[in-house]
Chain A
Amino acid sequence: MAVRPGGEYAGRPLHVIWLLDCSGSMAISGKIEALNNAIREVIPAMRKAAEGNPEVQFYVRVIRFASGASWHIAEPTLLNDFKWVDLHAEGETDLGQAFALLSMELSNMPANARMLPPQLVLISDGKPTDDWKSALQALLDVPWGRRAVRQAIAIGQDADQETLRKFVDNPEKPVLRVDNAEQLVRYFRYVSTSVTATPPGKEAASAPVVSAPSTDDDAW
């Protein structure tokens, strides 16, 4: 007799959220086209890597920021259902607004143990034009924001690596700088498949004193 105590089984969710720079400068030198093409190559690679982890449900969402920030893909979308709609570049670099939008979303996520830490990937080619510092602090104060796996890719020489580094806030994860379309595909694929291939393992919580956010002395 097949007994099955309890209700329905389900894999654990892992949310991947991309924050993509769509400011005017991304329209120069074919950067936005390179990003659109990179995403088309990254998704199949993520699917393939995720096959090794059938128990994890990977959901992808996308925030675009330019003059203001908005959801480009608002619905958490399973990798197999993911379809890419091209981004267009125009406007400022309101990264702070993107952080604010993200904080709001993460603070609404249930604080349960089922969910694996989300992965946040920030890709930018410029300097933020709005107040990003307080928005970033607010993001890092949200439990899921703090515990997320945060990574960043800098496109070209004008990207503000210092800002990206503060977002990542982890000396073990350097900001990756790319200088051409081929590098962008390579690094973006590396970052994205690293989490679908090996979701983070359990660890002993750091004591509250240790996890106090932002202890770097050069802020401001």
Chain B
Amino acid sequence: MSWKVAHACIRGSSHQRSGLPNQDAVQCTVTPGAQGTVAVAVVSDGHGSARHFRSQIGSSLAVSTVAATLQTFLRESVSSNGQVPFVPEQVHELERKIVSGWLAAVQSDLENTPFSEAELANVEKEEGVEGRAAVESSPELAYGATLLAAAATDKVLLYLQLGDGEILSVSAQGTTTRPLPPDDRLIANQTTSLCQAEAWKDFRSSWVIAGVTAGALPSLVLLSTDGYANSFRSDDDFLKIGQDYLEIIREQGISSLAEELPAILTEATQQGSGDDITLAILQDDLSAAGAAKAPRPLIPPASKSALIEQLKARHSSQQHKLHELALRVEQTRKDNRRLRNTIAVLVIAAIAIVIAVFHNRIFPPSAARSPLPPTLDAASKKPPAKPAALTHKPPPDEWLLQVNDKKLTLGQDSHVPPILIGPKAKPAEFQKDYAEVALDENKAFILINRSTDKWEVVGTHKRIPPGDNVRLGEKTVTIIFEPDIKGTLTPAAEASPAAPADQPQ
């Protein structure tokens, strides 16, 4: 048995238009040795969004470091072990080693070429200050990429995956299956990645040992970035590639196919996803050449380790669910606490209101401000009371607007109805009020022109077009709203010179 490889990696049609580079990378090696041939195929997809701005470097660092690591791993484990070349703990250790190897390569790239201000400024432009801060605190984010790998000897085939993309195994009969469990975190343009904290925890892995966990190794292994599967109308349309590639290779040989691969994948990106596409093919030369002689799968004599692996996978997915449940419980607790606090505040507020009401009855207010929203004061109505004896005069927060004989007290968020100005006064489109009091960004009170009229401030002759505003302060402001309609805005405290007669002094 010997392995052959073919691969192609093409830039996506949408990347060509937008000027994005090809962010995929691939590396395949077949090396003969004393213990047989070792074949390795590694594929990586650099993420496309702005914060991953060096992902094309990240993906190429991934394939070069991982290909070397896998070669060594497989060669050492095959020579040192007997029938079972490695145990799960060794694979987990390998996964950690892969991540730390990639991080070290990223670190050295960063030391050679630190981030430029232009790179960081672009992240900030596209993803805001948070995006920039994220990259500055975890520079490896800029290099974010996925990883798909298959490594094989004549007895063993190991699959590893972190993030999206597809690994398919094709039997001698053309049956196409996924050797790795699905990862339900991979939806909506998100993926797990080499650039995440503790990335090794998100690896999916499995292995086949000929004559132990399965009768025979598959005839073909296909590794592809998600741009390929996303180019097909449905999952079945995609899975059909397994049988089709097997037939093509049997008819014309893998090296002839290798020449056609770029054209095949280019057509796929143009009529499909628009994304970069990479495909790597590992072919078991003997079984692909002679389908008729392909051995029927044997009942594995000792599939214990496979069973253990399955149970472990199930266990880890249950743990993941438990973790999610725990998070939800925590969230609900938080909500409850918040609700409790709100109720407490409401109760205190209610008590405060009651106290305030009684306080007013027992000690008539000497420095009361109207807590009510502004009302259209008829001329006969009493103006608000004046603060009695204050050592510090606070800046005014209420004004009396007088237009002819009509008066209106204005405070924060007060609205001036058109009728106050006159029958002709018209609010601007989508407005029902003529003017509005608000706080500007300096916390100063302003009167916003919500009408179609162009106002003029008397004295300064400043023009206030619709949408613009007048600053309200301690001085009285007179505004010409319409050619013959003038209004004066006086701080409420000054506008009420005498305390009402029925207020005890």
A52's partner among B17, B185, B188, B338 (CB-CB below 8 A) is B17
Partner of B327, one of A55, A114, A155, A212: A212
Q: Which of A187-220 contact B (CB under 8 A)?
A: 198, 200-209, 212-214, 217, 219-220
Task: Find out whether the CB atom of A10 lies under 8 angstroms from the CB atom of B17.
Answer: no
Interface 9-mer from A26-34, A72-80, A92-100: A26-34
Q: Which residue in chain B gives the minimum CB-CB distance to A144?
A: B188
Given A111-B187, A203-B52, A204-B195, are A5 and B430 also a contact pair (CB < 8 Å)?
A: no
Partner of A117, one of B47, B189, B192, B428: B189
CB contacts (< 8 Å) of A107 on chain B: these are none
The smallest beta-carbon distance between B245 and chain A, in angstroms, is 5
| Least CB separation from B248: chain A residue | A3
> Given that A203-B189, A204-B141 are known contacts, is A3 also in contact with B264, CB under 8 Å in the complex?
yes
| Residue A147 is within 8 A (CB to CB) of chain B in the complex | yes
Residues of B within 8 A of A5 (CB): 240-241, 244-245, 248, 264
B230: interface (CB < 8 Å): yes
Binds B, one of A39-47, A83-91, A172-180: A172-180
* B240→A204 contact, CB < 8 A: no
| Closest beta carbon of chain A to B331's beta carbon, Å | 6
| A12, B273: Cβ atoms closer than 8 Å | yes
Q: Find out whether the CB atom of B47 lies under 8 angstroms from the CB atom of A156.
A: no
CB neighbours of B14 from chain A (8 A): 53, 55
A8 pairs with B429, CB closer than 8 A: no
The answer to whether the Cβ of B127 comes within 8 Å of any Cβ in the partner chain is yes
Given contacts A10-B272, A147-B189, contact A201 B331 (CB under 8 A): no
Q: Contact: B193 with A179, CB < 8 Å?
A: no
- Taking CB atoms, residues of chain B closer than 8 Å to A12 are 230, 272-274
| Minimal beta-carbon separation of A6 from chain B (angstroms) | 4
Q: Which residues of B are interface residues toward A (Cβ below 8 A)?
A: 13-14, 17-18, 45, 47-52, 127-128, 130, 141, 144, 164, 184-193, 195-197, 226, 229-238, 240-241, 244-245, 248, 257, 260, 264, 267-275, 323-324, 327, 330-331, 335, 338-339, 342, 427-433, 436, 450, 467
Beyond contacts A10-B233, A203-B51: 10 other A-B pairs, Cβ-Cβ < 8 A, are A4-B267, A6-B237, A7-B238, A9-B231, A9-B232, A9-B237, A9-B268, A147-B190, A178-B430, A204-B47
The 28 sampled A-B contact pairs (Cβ below 8 Å) are: A6-B268, A9-B268, A12-B273, A28-B432, A29-B427, A29-B432, A30-B429, A34-B429, A34-B430, A52-B17, A55-B274, A55-B275, A111-B187, A113-B226, A117-B189, A144-B188, A156-B431, A157-B430, A181-B429, A201-B47, A201-B50, A202-B47, A202-B191, A204-B191, A205-B185, A206-B190, A207-B197, A209-B327
